[in-house]
Amino acid sequence: MAVDRETPASEITTLVGREVYSNNGVFVGEIEDLRLDLATENVTGLALHQLNQELFDQEINRSRGVIVPYRWVQAVGDIVIVNDIVERLKRPGEDESDDDVVA
């Protein structure tokens, strides 16, 4: 989602409060804020809170939330649909770590 200088900022802020689901229909969380790259004027991530406790471990659930890369977004409407990769994230202590999700 590029930020057009002609587009009112209110259009971007309407994402705040929307629920996020995987493309399999699993609730992921609610958008609390957006991560922006000011140099390129692009949205780079969605800061989520009210997380689905079944998807994230206890340490992440106790934190403020997570940031999901915007490249995972597949559709934006009344809800936001993200790639189902969020359902397959590695837990801490497993062999590989996924650096895309930030707690």
Is-above-0.85 flag for pTM? Answer: no
Select from 71, 67, 84 the least CA-distant residue to 1.
Answer: 71
pLDDT, one tens digit per residue, over 42-74 is: 889 999 998 888 887 766 656 778 899 999 999
* Both tokens assigned to 17: 């409060």
Place of tokens 């895309």: 100
28 near 45, Cβ under 8 Å? no
Mean pLDDT across 71-90:
85
Mean of pLDDT over the chain: 78
Strand partners of residue 82: 22, 73
* Cross-strand bridge partners of residue 46: 34, 68
Distance (Å, rounded) from C-alpha 41 to C-alpha 56? 30
Q: Catalogue all structural domains in the chain, each as residue range(s) with its CATH number.
A: 13-87 (2.30.30.240)
- Does 91 have pLDDT greater than 60? no
Give me the mean pLDDT over the 8-29 stretch. 85
